């Protein structure tokens, strides 16, 4: 038996700031949800943890005007993991919040938990500013962030969509991505590849861009695959197999290795 009360057993006036169970089908996404990338592997691991240990931290929602639906404020990953488990109810804390407050809280919760990559943070801040007509100063005050930090994050959006995708795919950090703006757009893709291939740190990347601007570009060195890099992918594959087994999927994996390649044969039961 659940230790939480279900919504049908709790009046609207008594539900605020209490942990109650709400039907998943009654929870709607937050239109200001800043997180747009959800790792399937991490979601599956979270689902296994919830299946074994339950939800340790309730979701946060607000009741909508129709009185029967709830807008999610915090807990998008937990909600998605519960849907993977085909759960009917999830524990939630209902708070009183306006539409604007809900949007700010959704962004703030993700920023505080470091759940977003820096591009998602930039888009989330821009959406708040555009949708609610806030100034950078007002946004900084609401989020508890320095106005200069807001401005720096928004500058990242000057990169093209392709460049934004590349800096994330090649794992450049925020300062490296922002430094690329010193270059004209046509030179940025090559710079991204060079910084990644040579594993330049932030200071080295700044120096490399200085050299490009001074007309002294270094030749791009294509990085060869290292055994360590290959092992990272092998370990990720092994973790995926382990996660399926933890979830009760009786899969079988056989591995064979030659001088030239590693071969995996995986059998996953459909029932």
State the catalytic residues. Answer: 76
Give all strands (DSSP E) within the chain, no chain letters: 5-6, 19-23, 27-28, 59-63, 70-74, 89-94, 252-257, 262-267
156: its two tokens: 């990242």
DSSP state of 57: S
107: its two tokens: 């962004």
Rg of the chain, C-alpha, whole Å: 23
Three-state DSSP state, 260? coil
232: its two tokens: 């990272």
The single residue listed with the structure tokens 């959406």 is: 127
CA 8, 12, 18, 24 torsion-angle sign: positive
């Amino acid at each position: 038996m659940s230790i939480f009360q279900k919504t049908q057993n709790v009046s609207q006036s008594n539900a605020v700031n209490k942990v109650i169970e709400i039907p998943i089908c009654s929870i709607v996404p937050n239109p200001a949800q800043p997180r747009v990338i959800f790792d399937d592997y991490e979601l599956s691991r979270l689902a296994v943890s919830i299946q074994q240990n339950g939800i340790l931290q309730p979701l946060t929602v607000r009741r909508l005007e129709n009185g029967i639906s709830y807008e999610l404020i915090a807990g998008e990953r937990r909600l998605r993991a519960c849907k993977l488990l085909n759960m009917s109810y999830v524990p939630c804390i209902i708070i009183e919040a306006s539409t604007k407050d809900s949007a700010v809280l959704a962004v703030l919760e993700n920023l505080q938990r470091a759940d977003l990559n820096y591009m998602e943070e930039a888009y989330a801040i821009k959406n708040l500013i555009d949708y609610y007509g806030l100034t950078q100063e007002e946004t900084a005050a609401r989020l508890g962030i320095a106005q200069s930090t807001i401005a720096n994050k928004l500058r990242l959006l000057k990169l093209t969509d392709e460049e934004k995708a590349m800096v994330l795919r090649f794992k450049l950090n925020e300062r490296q991505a922002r430094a690329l703006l010193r270059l004209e757009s046509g030179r940025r893709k090559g710079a991204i590849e060079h910084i990644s291939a040579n594993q330049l740190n932030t200071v080295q990347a700044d120096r490399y861009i200085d050299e490009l601007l001074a007309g002294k570009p270094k030749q791009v060195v294509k990085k060869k695959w290292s055994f360590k890099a290959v092992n990272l992918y092998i370990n990720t594959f092994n973790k995926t197999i382990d996660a399926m087994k933890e979830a009760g999927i009786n899969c079988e994996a056989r591995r064979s290795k030659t001088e030239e390649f590693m071969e995996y044969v995986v059998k996953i039961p459909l029932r």
